[in-house]
Every structure is written in structure tokens, then in C-alpha cells.
């Protein structure tokens, strides 16, 4: 299936908000749905992950009368890091409790730890009625290194392969390739930046990273000439440099930093993402007016926003 569609399910950073004046952009935390080449890829499992799970469950139930005849939920989840706002929706993702579900989860944690153990400790056991081992679906949790690539082929299970040089990136026209690297521009253990490539189009997901003076050369090399970059934009410059409560060192970028990144990597389109939970619709509308006038190829993410890259 030739498609490369991106849908935003949660665009907020730090913690979810549920006030009326935040509904225009949405109050759920980070989750982006990508349907590409017949595969479902989900970027982060914040509270936006919950609504996506509800929709996938409904599709599963209505696909056939008998459970044995229904189309199972299958997907890839890419975790940028294990801070709570990026995994809060995980335990409430309803397809996890359906036996036919197959979910492959990838991410990177600190040395001498595993993603499976970290998710079990943070989300299950004492903080949830079920243990990780009691999940009904087929949940496969993998540790991912920045030298690894994930190759998705029609009708096959994901293939993890080591990427050593550019020649390793050659894929067929029907394959989807996921590559990544670990950025240390977010405390305390860094964050994974992901790139999805299909039919010559590229999407880069760079949330929860702070920019550097002069730009981020590692990101520039990784994301060069991408078609779409989703970039952390948690703060205005005023808040970032506040005399009373400065945000330098928090691991997040400003809107200016994200825009500068777009220019540096020569991305075709930029989506601002991961807004501070104190920014209501009125403030974000003012930000939208300012930055879309500066660069018409920039968009403020909101829940339900869809972008088609093909």
C-alpha cells in the first residue's frame, strides 16, 4: 500500500491538560501515528496513545463478527525516551489486552538496563493492576542502539540490522526503513531521534531536544533535506530566557531554535511540537501567526492534524 500519512494524536509536553481553553490544539501528550507502506508506526506513547488505541480496537471489533476472523492490530512503537509524558498512555492502550495484537516496541535506555525492565518498573506492578507479563497481546520489547536500523517489508516481521555506512541504507521501493541516533541534548539519559524513509520521502521526529549555539550539526547531518521534521518547540524565547524561571538546560527548544534547525537541514516542512502545558489556544494562535508569517512551510501541530508525504 503506497501511503505515507502522519497524524498527530498528542502534541503537548510535560503533562496533559484538560481545560476548555486548550482544546483547539489539544491537551494530550506526545503521540504521532504514521501509516506508511502498509505498516503502522507510532512515535511515542503519551496520553494521545489512548485515543489511537480506542480507534484501533473499534476497527478490530468491526472487521468481522467472529474474533477468529478479525484483522489483528499490528504495529511498531518507537519510544523517544521514558519520561512520563511519553509513556503515560501505554497501559491504557486497549489493543494490548487483545490476544491477537502484535506490538513491537523499540527504544533505548541507560547502560546496564533494558527497556522491558524500565517499562515494567515505571508503568506496571505497583502503579497498575497488571504486571507486564499479564498483558494479553503479543508485546515484544526491544532495545535499540543508534547503529541499528529497522527494516519493514510487506508481510514480514520487523528486521533489525546494523547500519555501518551509507551503502547499508539501500532499500527496495516497497521497504520502509527506520534509523535513529541518540541525542544527549535532553536530561538525564538523552533521547532517541528517529527517521522514517519510504519511496524517497523522509520524516524526522526530534522531540525533547535542546538546540546548541550555532545549531545541532549531528541532527543536521542526520535529517539533511528531509521532507518533514517534527521538532521540539516547548518554549517561547521569553520563557526560555526568563529572569525568574529560565528553562536553559531543561532539554527543550524554542520556536526560533526549531525554525533555525529547519533552515540548517534544509527541510521542506517543519511542524512545531511538544508545547508547554501552560500555553493555551490564544497564546499558540499568536505564536502561529508570528512564525507562519516568517516561514509559510511551518505548521503548529494540533490533535487530528494530518499530513500526507506522498
pLDDT digits (tens, 9 = 90+) for 265-287: 999 999 999 999 999 999 999 99
Radius of gyration of the chain (CA): 19
Which of 154, 156, 160 lies closest to 141, judged by CA?
160
Give the pLDDT score at 173: 85
Which of 200, 203, 148 lies closest to 172, judged by CA?
200
Give the pLDDT score at 9: 98
Residue 281 to residue 244: CA distance in whole angstroms? 24
Spell out where 128-279 has E strands.
Answer: 138-143, 148-152, 159-162, 176-183, 191-198, 201-206, 228-232, 270-273
Give the pLDDT score at 28: 98
Q: What is the pLDDT along the chain (310 residues), one digit of tens a residue?
A: 789 999 999 999 999 999 999 999 999 999 999 999 999 999 999 999 999 999 999 999 999 999 999 999 999 999 999 999 999 999 999 999 999 999 999 999 877 889 999 999 899 878 888 888 888 999 999 999 988 999 999 889 999 988 876 556 667 889 999 999 999 989 888 999 999 999 999 999 999 999 987 889 999 999 999 999 999 999 999 999 999 999 999 999 999 999 999 999 999 999 999 999 999 999 999 999 999 999 999 999 999 999 999 9
Give the pLDDT score at 170: 67
Give the pLDDT score at 270: 98
192-242 pLDDT per residue, tens? 999 999 999 999 999 999 998 788 999 999 999 999 999 999 999 999 999
Residue 304 to residue 23: CA distance in whole angstroms? 11
Give the pLDDT score at 167: 59
Give the pLDDT score at 163: 82
Q: What is the percent of the chain where pLDDT is above 70?
A: 98
Which pTM value belongs to this model? 0.96
Residue 49 to residue 8: CA distance in whole angstroms? 10
Q: Which helix or strand (DSSP H or E) is residue 10 part of?
A: strand 4-10
Give the pLDDT score at 166: 54
Give the pLDDT score at 165: 64
- The residues that bridge with 104 in the sheet, in sequence order, are 76, 140
Amino acid at each position: 500500500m503506497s501511503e505515507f500519512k502522519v497524524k498527530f494524536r498528542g502534541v503537548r509536553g510535560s503533562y496533559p491538560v484538560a481545560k476548555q481553553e486548550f482544546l483547539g490544539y489539544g491537551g494530550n501528550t506526545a503521540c504521532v501515528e504514521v501509516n506508511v507502506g502498509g505498516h503502522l508506526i507510532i512515535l511515542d506513547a503519551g496520553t494521545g496513545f489512548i485515543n489511537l488505541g480506542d480507534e484501533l480496537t473499534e476497527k478490530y471489533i468491526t472487521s468481522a463478527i467472529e474474533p477468529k476472523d478479525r484483522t489483528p492490530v499490528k504495529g511498531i512503537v518507537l519510544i523517544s525516551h521514558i519520561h512520563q509524558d511519553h509513556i503515560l498512555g501505554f497501559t491504557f492502550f486497549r489493543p494490548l489486552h487483545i490476544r491477537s495484537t502484535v506490538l513491537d516496541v523499540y527504544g533505548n535506555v541507560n547502560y546496564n538496563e533494558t527497556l522491558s525492565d524500565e517499562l515494567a518498573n515505571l508503568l506496571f506492578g505497583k502503579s497498575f493492576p497488571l504486571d507486564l507479563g499479564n498483558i494479553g497481546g503479543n508485546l515484544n520489547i526491544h532495545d535499540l542502539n543508534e547503529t541499528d536500523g529497522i527494516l519493514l517489508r510487506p508481510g514480514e516481521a520487523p528486521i533489525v540490522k546494523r547500519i555501518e555506512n551509507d551503502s547499508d541504507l539501500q532499500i527496495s521501493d516497497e521497504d520502509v526503513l527506520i534509523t535513529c541516533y541518540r541525542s544527549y541534548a535532553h536530561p538525564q539519559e538523552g533521547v532517541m531521534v528517529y527517521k522514517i524513509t519510504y519511496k524517497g520521502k523522509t520524516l524526522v521526529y526530534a522531540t525533547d531536544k535542546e538546540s546548541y549555539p550555532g545549531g545541532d550539526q549531528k541532527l543536521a547531518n542526520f535529517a539533511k533535506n528531509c521532507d518533514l521534521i517534527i521538532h521540539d518547540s516547548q518554549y517561547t524565547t521569553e520563557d526560555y530566557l526568563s529572569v525568574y524561571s529560565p528553562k536553559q538546560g531543561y532539554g527543550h527548544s524554542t520556536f526560533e531554535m526549531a525554525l533555525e534547525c529547519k533552515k540548517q537541514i534544509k527541510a521542506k516542512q517543519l511542524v512545531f511540537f511538544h508545547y508547554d502545558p501552560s500555553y493555551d489556544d490564544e497564546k499558540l494562535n499568536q505564536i502561529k501567526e508570528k512564525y507562519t508569517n516568517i516561514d509559510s512551510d511551518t505548521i503548529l501541530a494540533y490533535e487530528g492534524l494530518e499530513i500526507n508525504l506522498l
